[in-house]
Structure 1
Amino acid sequence: MIEVICNDRLGKKVRVKCDPNDTIGDLKKLVAAQTGTYASKIVLKKGHSIFKDHITLADYEVGNGSSIELYYS
């Protein structure tokens, strides 16, 4: 299990525990459960790259304590 920190830059930080083999879509569902928004409205980014739903966290090299930017569409 790893812990990923999602920051929306509006003062809300969400800490989510997940597995490295989970997909970005799975992570969005976990974040949506904690924030109260729809998973389809969440966009996860790191730098200028937008994470795609079908790729795993390990493929994006997201590890324990990694920080991801959280945006709403």
Structure 2
Amino acid sequence: MQSKVAQTRAQLESTLDEIEDKLNVPKQVGVFARKAQASYEDNPVPWVAGVTAAVAIVGGLVAWAVLSRD
């Protein structure tokens, strides 16, 4: 019986550690940044295309807002 309790306690501790890691925003930002950097270094074309598209969209929205004043 005590072995079962110890096993359950260990599983709970592991689960809580995993939850804590997922909710640790600075750590998750770092993980995301490392993955993004590795992805960019592997193939920068999609990143350049995405940034170009974002700039075009923002530029279009700004132009629309400025030129469509009633």
Structure holding more helix per residue: 2
TM-score category, normalised to shorter length? under 0.3
User: When the two structures are superposed, what TM-score results if normalisation uses the length of structure 2?
Assistant: 0.24
Larger radius of gyration: 2
Normalising by structure 1, we get a TM-score of 0.23
Q: Which has the higher relative contact order, 1 or 2, with Cα contacts under 8 A spaced 6 or more apart?
A: 1
Greater strand share, structure number: 1
